Amino acid sequence: MKIVLFDTKTYDQVHFEEANRDFGYDVVYLAPELNSHTAVMASGADVVCPFVNCTVDKKVIDILKKEGVRLIALRSAGFNNVDYRYAESQGIPVVRVPAYSPHAVAEHSFALLLALVRKLTHAYVRTREFNFSLSGLVGMDLYGKTMGIVGSGKIGRAAISIAKGFGMHVLCYDPYPAEIEGVEFTDLDTLLRKSDVVSLYCPLTKDNRHMINAKTLEEMKDSVFLINTSRGGLIDSEALLEALKDKKIAGAALDVYEEEAGIFYTDQSDEGVADDTLARLISMPNVIITSHQGYLTKEALTAISETTLKNVKEFEEGRVLSNRVS
């Protein structure tokens, strides 16, 4: 079995090579993202392994099929960048990594939240310049505040546990609510209206794209902090920028951005960012943006590599694909 990884970084290769010792597959590591221009690079491969910012649409799938690809093995939980229904219709199943380290993403969201509410980025820059003034650094306790968690999957549940550890009251919205001790499930409007912090832990679908928009931002408290470590398309970035400019919300911390493809995971320091909305968000004093690194822990990278290769093994042996997207 030959596997071609697209959008490969050094840390991907290190962990895949370690995991592949138990499988012995022929793995090729490519730096470019998978798209209609690069799909031919999968020629001769049985499996392609794209990442979150790769584009796997009908055009790409047609090329992959022509080149002999028989399986699309995502090394991510999200699959909004893949036309999996069309892939299935062409006889190419799609598998994913549904859970690698939910704690990694949940913990990163709270790292962002704490940095935002305690103004740690400003304090760090000041002390680097030997400015030890505390003026303008007044923060906010998390204890006793209401945390609005959108999505109660594995990452959402890990976040719920952390929030409760901080002594926060937890509201949760999920289209499929569950019984979770100490958590009050409610509708999205109520959650947005009552929460001091709103944090997103849900996949991106055609139904929830821009669930945070001008209207829903208007419903939130002026003092609310918005956190997104899920998918950028959940938030209308331009509406968020306007809400921040108008001081409609207190701040935002984003590990994802709806137009991040071609920007995140790359070094743009020489030429700058052409995306005006992103550049303006980065420049705001009450915004923190990280480059989709919520998953980036040793534990998560190991789990991603091992699960991806196990998915390939199931396919190779003709077994039921336990992590099939369908």
pLDDT string in tens for the chain (326-residue length)? 999 999 999 999 999 999 999 999 999 999 999 999 999 999 999 999 999 989 999 999 999 999 999 999 999 988 989 999 999 999 999 999 988 889 999 999 999 999 999 999 999 999 999 999 999 999 999 999 999 999 999 999 999 999 999 999 999 999 998 889 889 999 999 999 999 999 999 999 999 999 999 999 999 999 999 999 999 999 999 999 999 999 999 999 999 999 998 899 999 999 899 999 999 999 999 999 999 999 999 999 999 999 999 999 999 999 999 999 98
Torsion of CA 171, 173, 179, 181, to 10 degrees: -20
In the chain, CATH 3.40.50.720 sits at: 2-100+297-316, 102-289
At position 285, the amino acid (one-letter code) is P
Contacting residues for 168 by C-beta, under 8 A, at least 6 apart? 142, 143, 144, 145, 146, 147, 197
Backbone angles phi, psi at 135, to 5 degrees: -60, 130
Q: Which of 157, 231, 258, 306 is catalytic?
A: 231
Q: Tell me the two tokens of residue 88.
A: 């299935």
Considering the candidates 15, 108, 292, 306, report the single residue annotated as catalytic.
Answer: 292
Supply the pLDDT for residue 194. 98
Strands (E), 30-133: 47-49, 71-73, 94-95
- Beta carbons of 96 and 77 less than 8 angstroms apart: yes
Q: What is the pTM of this model?
A: 0.89
Give the per-residue pLDDT at 261: 86
Is 231 part of the annotated catalytic residue set?
A: yes
CA 233-154-191 angle, to 5 degrees, is 60
Radius of gyration, alpha carbons of the chain: 21
Q: What is the DSSP letter of 173?
A: E
119: left (phi over 0), alpha (psi -120 to 50) or beta: left
Q: Are 212 and 244 in contact (CB under 8 A)?
A: no
- The pLDDT, as a whole number, for residue 88 is 97
Structure tokens at 180: 């979770």
So what's the pLDDT on residue 112?
98
C-alpha distances in Å from residue 253, one per residue of 210, 225, 326? 16, 8, 32
Q: What fold characterizes domain 2-100+297-316?
A: Rossmann fold (3.40.50)
The type of residue at 102 is P
Q: Which amino acid does the sequence have at 3?
A: I
Determine contact, residues 152/160, Cβ cutoff 8 Å.
yes
User: What's the rounded Cα separation, in Å, for the pair 10 and 8?
Assistant: 7
Cβ 227 vs Cβ 202: under 8 Å: no
Q: With CA atoms as reference, report the closest residue to 73 among 98, 107, 41, 38.
A: 98
Please tell me which residue in 260, 314, 316, 324 is annotated as part of the active site. 260
Whether the CB-CB separation of 94 and 325 falls below 8 Å is answered with yes
**Assigned CATH for 102-289:** 3.40.50.720
Contact criterion met (CB below 8 Å) for 121 and 115: yes
Amino acid letter, residue 23: F
